[in-house]
């Protein structure tokens, strides 16, 4: 009974955190699913977003300005990876790792030390883990996070329906075709990386406010969490409709499911140290499913007697 109560108690927090990570997962979706690039920059840019937001607020800037700057800082991270990849010919995955490593130093410099706390009482934070229950609904972090997710989905839905957005999708789908149709695939890849990392940094800004601090290692393994959200979300909710907006919402909900499962596992008494191992294994299994299916479980269909070879 005790376990059940503690699970129920931690549920609102898990939902809020899941939605914030959902923002991150939607950002990752742009590179992973649309551009078909595995971008490891996110492990660094999520922290950059948190660091910029926290430090600007501590230094007296208003919340909207701080969050906008966090978004722009994330775009710069994406720009760096984009330049490594397109202008310098470094494979995307390696370009992301390089930026991520570089960002560790950058983030340390922004924060000044490994960890910077921001007091929810002193600063008007948009979201906080204190505001998930027993607060007026309009202050509730869950509601605010939902508004964020919906607004971003609407914005992306619009953008990927524009001529520019379509050319971005084409770039991810078929490079030769895109170039043959006059699309600058390099600049599109850079743009995609910038938008993606901008959103990831924005989620970092929300996350730092939510937990009340920015930490230089807060992004460790972020890509795995994001991928988990994408995989879980599209597997559970993605079947509802192929509509792009539904897919994005599904990804955000995937983040929520991830954090609820996470909380349940913690409440059941699993060693928290093992969670990253578990996340990695879960993502590995899900990523492997299509391959395993085709490699080990697909039997050649028996041709019927006398069937004509079409």
Among 132, 183, 199, 283, binds another protein (CB under 8 A): 183
219 DSSP 8-state letter: T
- In the complex with another protein, the residue whose CB is nearer, 34 or 40, is 34
User: Total number of residues binding another protein (CB under 8 A)?
Assistant: 23
- Asked if residue 179 binds another protein (CB under 8 A), the reply is yes
Among 170, 235, 245, 261, binds another protein (CB under 8 A): 170
Distance CA 206, CA 50 (A): 7
Q: What is the DSSP string of 93-156?
A: HHHHHHHHHHHHHHHHHHHSSSEEE--TTTS--S--GGGGSSS-GGG-HHHHHHHHHHHHHHHH
For residue 35, the SS3 value is coil
- In the complex with another protein, the residue whose CB is nearer, 172 or 226, is 172
Closest C-alpha among 105, 111, 2 to residue 58: 111
**Residue 198, phi-psi category: left (phi > 0), alpha (psi -120 to 50), beta (remainder):** alpha
- Asked if residue 174 binds another protein (CB under 8 A), the reply is yes
- Asked if residue 243 binds another protein (CB under 8 A), the reply is no
Distance CA 133, CA 306 (A): 68
- In the complex with another protein, the residue whose CB is nearer, 61 or 160, is 160
- Asked if residue 180 binds another protein (CB under 8 A), the reply is yes
- Asked if residue 88 binds another protein (CB under 8 A), the reply is no
Query: Which window, 16-24, 170-178, 192-200, 226-234, contacts another protein (CB under 8 A)?
Result: 170-178
- Asked if residue 157 binds another protein (CB under 8 A), the reply is no
Using CB under 8 A, list all residues that contact another protein.
159, 161-167, 169-170, 172-174, 176-185
């Amino acid at each position: 009974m005790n376990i059940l109560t503690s699970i129920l108690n931690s549920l609102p927090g898990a939902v809020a955190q899941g939605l914030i990570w959902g923002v991150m997962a939607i950002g990752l979706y742009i590179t992973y699913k649309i551009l078909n690039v595995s971008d490891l920059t996110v492990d660094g840019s999520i922290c950059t977003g948190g660091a910029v937001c926290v430090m600007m607020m501590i230094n007296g800037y208003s919340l909207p300005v701080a969050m906008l700057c966090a978004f722009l800082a994330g775009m710069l991270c994406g720009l760096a990876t984009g330049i490594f990849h397109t202008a310098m010919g470094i494979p995307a995955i390696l370009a992301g790792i390089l930026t991520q490593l570089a960002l560790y130093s950058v983030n340390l410099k922004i924060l000044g030390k490994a960890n910077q706390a921001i007091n929810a009482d002193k600063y008007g934070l948009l979201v906080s883990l204190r505001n998930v229950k027993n607060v007026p609904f309009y202050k509730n972090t869950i509601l605010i996070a939902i508004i964020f997710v919906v607004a971003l989905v609407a914005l992306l839905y619009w953008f990927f329906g524009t001529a520019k957005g379509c050319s971005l999708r084409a770039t991810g789908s078929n490079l030769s075709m895109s170039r043959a149709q006059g699309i600058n695939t390099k600049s599109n890849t850079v743009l995609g990386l910038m938008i993606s990392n901008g959103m990831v940094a924005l989620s970092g800004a929300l996350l730092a406010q939510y937990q009340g601090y920015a930490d230089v290692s807060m992004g460790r393994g972020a890509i795995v969490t994001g991928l988990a959200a994408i995989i879980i979300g599209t597997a559970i909710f993605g079947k509802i409709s192929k509509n792009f907006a539904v897919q994005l919402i599904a990804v955000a909900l995937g983040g929520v499911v991830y954090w609820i499962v996470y909380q349940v596992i913690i409440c059941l008494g699993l060693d928290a140290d093992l969670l990253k191992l578990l996340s990695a294994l879960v993502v590995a299994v899900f990523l492997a499913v299509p391959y395993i299916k085709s490699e080990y479980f697909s039997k050649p269909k028996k041709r019927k007697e006398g069937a004509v070879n079409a």
